Amino acid sequence: MLLDDKYRDIVVNDNLENKQKYIVGVDLGGTKIATGLFDNQGQMLSRTQRATAGLQSAEDVIATIVETIREVSGDHKIAGVGVASPGAIDSRRGMILNGINLPGWSNIPLQAELESRLGTEVKLVNDANAAAWGEFVYGAGRGSLNMIYVTFSTGIGSGLVLDGQLFLGSNSFAGELGHTVIDPHGAVCGCGRRGCWETFASGTAIGRMGQEAVAEAGGISLMSELASAEDLPVMATHVFQAAAAGDVVACDTLANVIHYTGLGLMNIIHSFNPDCIVIGGGVSRAGSAFFEPLMKQTDELVMEPYRGTFNLKPAELKDDVGVIGAAALFKDNVN
Ligand SMILES: [Zn+2]
């Protein structure tokens, strides 16, 4: 007997509701807490955020996180909550060790705190790891097996997906690729060492290289014109803009940037043999004028057997990469 259409719809919807697994992703930042509700397919169903400015204590921060989770969840039964946080995170113990500018925010057993308040499973990872996993599951790394995510902003952040799994390392500290050393006699890095990759290829480093090139050229470069029009020192964005316009000094600087970026990628490729490297941060928007020469440079730098074994791709997930990646921690059967 055929089911009445109306009845069949109820059955289908009921089955969907039972199979549907709602997950919340939380991106904890220094200035805001962003939280989203996702369905099985990774569609964001609702989103909220709170500024962290007025929060006075760790308890305030935790209470605010819980409030945002309750707000986006509404009546949905939540199967898990993923949290991405900057700084040093012990994912296996679910602890925030330290690292962001929030009141009292060190040695916080955030996973246990949230699990007891929400009555659901909670997973906690470093923000670069969340972004890496998000790109692997839903972004530019879809379909790859070994994917390295590298984001170039003020520093260099990175996360490793090896043999299809997010690789944490013994203390969840794996993947600080920005602090692999390119030149032991190089500039002092924020970590206190000299010549880390980050001092050659981060957005900050690109700006500094632009400033040095302008000084060497006696101030004659479109980079300095663009910067002074905005009342700013030369920054990475001016290097890219001036190079795109054909400014010779900027083109030389960009070639230098591409060389050092390629050196770091070479180390990654020799270490992990990835099939895909996803590049996030400001440079991911630089387009083919950056990606094509970088691909060529990197392919020339690596040892012969590695040539042609990897792709460089711009990141696909934008501002909500942390929220999406945190929720994706509950996504299984990825490939
Ligand atoms: Zn360093």
Q: Is the pLDDT of residue 273 over 50?
A: yes
Give 189 Cα–ligand 1 centroid separation in angstroms.
5
| Same fold flag, 22-134+321-329 and 143-315 | yes
- Domains of the chain, by residue range, sit at 22-134+321-329, 143-315
Give 314 Cα–ligand 1 centroid separation in angstroms.
24
Give 256 Cα–ligand 1 centroid separation in angstroms.
19
Six-digit token string for 270: 């020799």
Give 192 Cα–ligand 1 centroid separation in angstroms.
6
Give 235 Cα–ligand 1 centroid separation in angstroms.
20
Average pLDDT value over all residues in the chain: 91
Six-digit token string for 125: 């990872």
Task: Indicate the SS3 state at residue 220.
Answer: coil
Q: Is the pLDDT of residue 8 over 80?
A: no
Q: Which of the four pLDDT bands, split at 50, 70 and 90, describes residue 332?
A: low
Q: Is the pLDDT of residue 19 over 70?
A: no
Give 24 Cα–ligand 1 centroid separation in angstroms.
33
Give 70 Cα–ligand 1 centroid separation in angstroms.
39
CATH architecture of 22-134+321-329: 2-Layer Sandwich (3.30)
Give 283 Cα–ligand 1 centroid separation in angstroms.
20
What φ, ψ does residue 84 adopt, rounded to 5°? -105, 135
Task: Indicate the SS3 state at residue 122.
Answer: strand
Q: Which of the four pLDDT bands, split at 50, 70 and 90, describes residue 18?
A: low
| Interatomic CA distance for residues 305 and 300, integer angstroms | 11
pLDDT on residue 11: 46
| Interatomic CA distance for residues 140 and 217, integer angstroms | 39
Residue 184's Cβ-count burial label (10 Å; 0-12, 13-18, 19+) is exposed
pLDDT on residue 276: 98
Give 40 Cα–ligand 1 centroid separation in angstroms.
38
Q: Domain 143-315 is in which class?
A: alpha beta
Q: pLDDT, tens digit, for every residue of 128-175?
A: 999 999 999 999 999 999 999 999 999 999 999 999 999 999 999 999
- When mean pLDDT is compared across 55-59, 75-79, 82-86, 102-106, the lowest value belongs to 102-106
